[in-house]
A and B are shown apart, each in its own frame.
Chain A
Amino acid sequence: MNIPQELRYTKDHEWIRVDSEIAYVGITEFAQGELGEIVFIEVETVGETLAEADVFGTVEAVKTVSDMYMPVAGKVLALNPNLFEKPELVNQDPYGDGWIIKVEIENLADVAGLLTADEYAALIG
């Protein structure tokens, strides 16, 4: 199972890549595998400022639908424009081209409270 060391994780299987206040959020390889083929990503919170653990969108697989949650408080800047035509990118490259939203983090210190790769690996066993 691929769990990149440089990312932080939530118990709801989102990851966040923090370079500066601008960060990228997606779902983990484990999550995409559990969902199966993703056919639709819906994010209608672009432009909104959300609290930690707020729902920022939903991911639809053939069999099921699941909410996605903000890892930390912040403003949703954009939805990955490639996912409208190719939602399967989330399956194929969940940590890369399959990123879901770009966010502006309210407080960088919040990131420290998220799971490390090792902690997330332990969570999913």
Chain B
Amino acid sequence: MKNTPFTAIHEALGAKIVPFAGYNMPVEYSGIRDEHITVRSAVGVFDVSHMGEIWVKGPDALLFLQKVTSNDVSKLEIGKAQYSCFPNGKGGIVDDLVVYHYEHQKYMLVVNASNVEKDWNWLVENNTEGAELENASDNIAQLAIQGPKALETLQKLTFTHLASVPYYGFVQGILGGVENVIISNTGYTGAGGFEIYFYKEHAEKIWHALFEAGAEFGIKPIGLGARDTLRLEMGYCLYGNDIDDTTSPIEAGLGWITKFVPGKAFIDRSVLEKQKAEGVSRKLKGFIMIDRGIPRHGYPILDADGNRIGEVTSGTQSPLLNVGIGMGYVATGYDAVGTEIFIEIRGKAIKAQISALPFIKK
């Protein structure tokens, strides 16, 4: 099991540590609910150093990325980031990722920790364009500073004017006395805030600077448990739960990052374009429990007659709404908002309803 540059800090803070994607990761500190509310109302810090970073460089980088990712990288300006996925050649998804256009002919791909090796092999295998690839995952630390007080916290530590960094934009600057920090207006919580990337030797310095700067706002460390409840309230997909090698981006509601623009000959384009035109037989939808119960990954989704019409991919009790929420694939026809469905929880059909995403409004 690997450690992140912050593992010793998490242990000292009394975090509950669990093995996740090959790393010892903090799952909770003060409690999932408290951490969740902290991020929604103030500011919290997530160690997400387990995430993978892969550089793609050179004159062929763009052509290569246009082939292996579903979104339109030609539209991605320097200083901007883009959510995307790697189609797997069989209509499924290798991974979802964020593409950063770092500088001319240089991109950083941020991928899921559990998929770094799989993604790397996939990219190498498909790199007939001859783009220059570098796996920097073990050298780069990442923190997510999320919540309505994230900007004020970070602004104390840098001269870069953060309010002028647009959503899904990023800058590189000095933060807390550390040079070359990528400060990105992105996140996985819907609470606003930034994700920062830096070389791991600066980890402790940055952590302590953040907690000093955020003290007046009640800044807290946040574990993977609240990361999951926060992303689920927003309806964001989690690879391995909601999307995987067997789900298509069209089924998963990721048509908005699947761009059938002229000249973009990406992997699986024809099969996905056909799905978009002809429709798919199942769709990933959010639902909210009407009767009491908490949906969990793998629970069957039923119609009123008890026929199986799908399966839950993610679920939890929403700490904000105090009700069970989830996502799952349902057969087309049951996917309209407001449709009554049932979740089979320990042998009983519990009433739920297809809901618009996100579950909470900003």
Cross-chain contact of B32 among A40, A62, A65 (Cβ < 8 A)? A62
With contacts A62-B32, A62-B319 taken as known, whether A36 is within 8 angstroms of B296 at the C-beta atoms is no
Report whether A40 and B294 are in contact in the complex, using a CB–CB cutoff of 8 Å: yes
Q: How far is the CA of A65 from the CA of B294 in the complex (A)?
A: 9
Residues of B in contact (CB 8 Å), total 17
**B184 contacts partner chain A, Cβ-Cβ < 8 Å:** no
Report whether B31 and A36 are in contact in the complex, using a CB–CB cutoff of 8 Å: yes
**B362 contacts partner chain A, Cβ-Cβ < 8 Å:** no
Report whether A65 and B33 are in contact in the complex, using a CB–CB cutoff of 8 Å: no
Residue of A whose beta carbon sits closest to that of B317: A39
**A80 contacts partner chain B, Cβ-Cβ < 8 Å:** no
Near B by CB (< 8 A), chain A positions 76-97 give none
Give A30 Cβ to nearest chain B Cβ, in Å.
Answer: 13
Near A by CB (< 8 A), chain B positions 277-298 give 292-294, 296
Report whether A62 and B225 are in contact in the complex, using a CB–CB cutoff of 8 Å: yes
**A37 contacts partner chain B, Cβ-Cβ < 8 Å:** yes
With contacts A40-B292, A58-B346 taken as known, whether A63 is within 8 angstroms of B228 at the C-beta atoms is yes
**A106 contacts partner chain B, Cβ-Cβ < 8 Å:** no
Report whether B31 and A37 are in contact in the complex, using a CB–CB cutoff of 8 Å: yes
Please, could you name 10 A-B residue pairs with CB atoms under 8 Å apart, sorted by A? Answer: A36-B31, A36-B225, A39-B317, A40-B293, A40-B317, A60-B317, A62-B229, A62-B316, A63-B225, A65-B296
Contacts of A42 in B (CB 8 A): 346
Lowest 8 A-B CB distances belong to which pairs? A62-B32, A39-B317, A60-B294, A37-B33, A63-B225, A37-B31, A37-B32, A62-B317
Residue of B whose beta carbon sits closest to that of A65: B296
B contact face: mostly helix, strand, loop, or mixed: mixed
Q: How far is the CA of A42 from the CA of B293 in the complex (A)?
A: 9
Q: How far is the CA of A71 from the CA of B352 in the complex (A)?
A: 34
**B47 contacts partner chain A, Cβ-Cβ < 8 Å:** no
Residue of A whose beta carbon sits closest to that of B225: A63
Q: How far is the CA of A45 from the CA of B73 in the complex (A)?
A: 58
Q: Which residues of A are interface residues toward B (Cβ below 8 A)?
A: 36-37, 39-40, 42, 58, 60, 62-63, 65
Give B23 Cβ to nearest chain A Cβ, in Å.
Answer: 18
Near A by CB (< 8 A), chain B positions 1-35 give 16, 27-28, 31-33
Give B320 Cβ to nearest chain A Cβ, in Å.
Answer: 12
Since A63-B228, A65-B296 are in contact, a sample of 19 more A-B pairs with Cβ atoms closer than 8 Å, ordered by chain A residue number, is A36-B16, A36-B28, A36-B32, A36-B225, A37-B32, A37-B33, A39-B294, A39-B317, A40-B292, A40-B293, A40-B294, A42-B346, A58-B346, A60-B294, A62-B33, A62-B225, A62-B229, A63-B316, A65-B294
Q: How far is the CA of A36 from the CA of B111 in the complex (A)?
A: 29
Interface string of B28-67 (1 = CB under 8 A from A): 1001110000000000000000000000000000000000
Near A by CB (< 8 A), chain B positions 300-354 give 316-317, 319, 346
Contacts of A36 in B (CB 8 A): 16, 28, 31-32, 225
Residue of B whose beta carbon sits closest to that of A40: B294
Contacts of A63 in B (CB 8 A): 27, 32, 225, 228, 316
Give B315 Cβ to nearest chain A Cβ, in Å.
Answer: 10
Give A101 Cβ to nearest chain B Cβ, in Å.
Answer: 17
Residue of B whose beta carbon sits closest to that of A84: B292
Q: How far is the CA of A33 from the CA of B167 in the complex (A)?
A: 38
Contacts of B292 in A (CB 8 A): 40
Q: How far is the CA of A62 from the CA of B293 in the complex (A)?
A: 12
